[in-house]
Homo-oligomer: A and B are copies of this chain.
Amino acid sequence: MTQSAQQPLSSTLGIVTPQTARFSKPLKLESGDVLDSYELVYETYGELNAARSNGILLCHALTGDHHAAGLHSDDPKTAGWWDQIVGPGKPIDTNKFFVVSPNNLGGCSGSAGPTSINPQTGKVYGPDFPFVTVNDFVESQRRLADTLEISQWAAVIGGSLGGMQVLEWSITHPERLRHAIVIAAAAKLSAQNIAFNEVARQAIRTDPDYCDGRYFEQDKVPHRGLRVARMVGHITYLSDDKMASKFGRNLRDKTQLDYRFDTEFEVESYLRYQGDQFINRFDANTYLLMTKALDYFDPAAKTNDDLNQALAVAKAKFLVISFSSDWRFPVERSREIVRALQNNSLDVSYAEIESPHGHDSFLLDVPDYVRVLSAYIDRVASEAETISP
């Protein structure tokens, strides 16, 4: 997603320093593999109240990280990916909430993942890092909640892959969250979604510099494959209409076609830029793992493909948000979730937001979206205040 699309130059949270939690109790993963020990890097914004009732967990999307708000301690020119939403006086008001934002297990921004050191070998995990699933993300976050002594989140919030984590929290730990905010998500990927992920994976895995995932050992990086993977992903984050209005068939810095493979149209230049930026900030093995986590997510698979039954255990109140022009996870996919929640007589608010920005809308300042989100979070805040220590 275009996480740097609409970021401010400053942040009212100022510079934020990430923290690291170390877990030495083995974690059995959904695949059957076991992580003997692992670290999670995370940031927090605001203060935990005496009742420990005002915690909000943010779950990030495919290529996101723990740096949701404020300025980076190691790069103060860059604000977090949701800085316009999280901060003092902002929709997720850090004067009221204690916001926790971890980097997902398997990530490449500090949590245990393919780029971190395998304590058993003293070497970088690379392709030996085990497959992780949304369920594993949630289990590692549950342990983080225990460490922080937060027995119940005021809300768990996430968009896209983050929204899947919210759903998983509501199913596997129904008592541990009061509100679930699921944005631009789906209860499972479609065949087309999986197909796009598979193209991205094939681009990476057939890059000769991929070296079966051991590129670090050979001092190589599969830049080419990762770049193509990002480009194809990026097309699915934007709507057709948005691409048309943003670029149309405009030529790049010229008035006439010049019949070359160099950039002819602006949209080509834009995509290449997105690809080039991405290879400097993301790891190929991690991208592979995260796309697989997306593919595997399907909570209803355990209940005979019955989403009603899968969500029957949920207790949270829900806000579900979808965007009109999102063709990666179209509004129908959110409606499926809403219907299943309603069929379980759960408290569910649903907003279908008109937005031209496609899937990326969940990261952008779409006024109707921010309004709906703010209003709902005000409700979460007033409930959190009434809980006594």
Encode A222-235 as 1/0 by CB contact (under 8 A) with B. 00100110011001
Q: In the assembled complex, which residues on chain B have CB atoms less than 8 Å from the CB atom of A206?
A: 224, 227-228
Question: Are the CB atoms of A240 and B272 closer together than 8 Å?
Answer: no
Q: Does A304 contact B (CB under 8 A)?
A: no
Question: Are the CB atoms of B249 and A298 closer together than 8 Å?
Answer: yes
Instruction: Kindly report how many copies of this chain are found in the complex they form together.
Output: 2
CA distance A288 to B262 in the complex (A): 12
Q: How many A residues face the partner with a CB closer than 8 A?
A: 53
A26 CB, nearest partner CB in chain B, Å:
18
Q: In the assembled complex, which residues on chain B have CB atoms less than 8 Å from the CB atom of A313?
A: none
CA distance A247 to B32 in the complex (A): 26
Q: In the assembled complex, which residues on chain B have CB atoms less than 8 Å from the CB atom of A131?
A: 259-260
Encode A180-192 as 1/0 by CB contact (under 8 A) with B. 0000000011111
CA distance A369 to B202 in the complex (A): 35
Q: In the assembled complex, which residues on chain B have CB atoms less than 8 Å from the CB atom of A207?
A: 224
Q: In the assembled complex, which residues on chain B have CB atoms less than 8 Å from the CB atom of A268?
A: 194-195, 198
Encode A300-325 as 1/0 by CB contact (under 8 A) with B. 01000000000000000000000000
Encode A244-263 as 1/0 by CB contact (under 8 A) with B. 10111100000001011100
Known contacts A198-B271, A206-B227, A275-B202; decide if A191 and B259 are in contact (CB<8 Å).
no
Q: Does A39 contact B (CB under 8 A)?
A: no
Question: Are the CB atoms of A271 and B190 closer together than 8 Å?
Answer: no
Q: In the assembled complex, which residues on chain B have CB atoms less than 8 Å from the CB atom of A139?
A: none
Q: In the assembled complex, which residues on chain B have CB atoms less than 8 Å from the CB atom of A231?
A: 195, 198-199, 202
28 example contacts (A-B, Cβ-Cβ < 8 A) are as follows A31-B259, A33-B259, A131-B259, A131-B260, A190-B240, A190-B244, A191-B243, A191-B246, A192-B235, A194-B249, A194-B268, A195-B268, A195-B271, A198-B231, A198-B267, A198-B272, A199-B228, A202-B231, A202-B272, A206-B227, A208-B208, A208-B224, A228-B228, A232-B232, A257-B296, A259-B292, A261-B292, A264-B292
Question: Are the CB atoms of B199 and A232 closer together than 8 Å?
Answer: yes
A327 CB, nearest partner CB in chain B, Å:
8
Which residue in chain B gives the minimum CB-CB distance to A240? B192
Q: Does A96 contact B (CB under 8 A)?
A: no
CA distance A104 to B190 in the complex (A): 36
Q: In the assembled complex, which residues on chain B have CB atoms less than 8 Å from the CB atom of A275?
A: 202
Which residue in chain B gives the minimum CB-CB distance to A296? B257
Q: Does A201 contact B (CB under 8 A)?
A: yes
A152 CB, nearest partner CB in chain B, Å:
31
CA distance A32 to B268 in the complex (A): 23
Q: Does A215 contact B (CB under 8 A)?
A: no
Q: Does A93 contact B (CB under 8 A)?
A: no
Question: Are the CB atoms of B191 and A203 closer together than 8 Å?
Answer: no
Return the contact of A194 from the options B33, B196, B208, B265 (Cβ within 8 A).
B265
A212 CB, nearest partner CB in chain B, Å:
10
Q: Does A205 contact B (CB under 8 A)?
A: yes
Per CB-CB distance, the 10 closest pairs between chain A and chain B, nearest first, are A191-B243, A31-B259, A206-B224, A131-B259, A191-B247, A191-B267, A198-B268, A192-B240, A199-B231, A203-B228
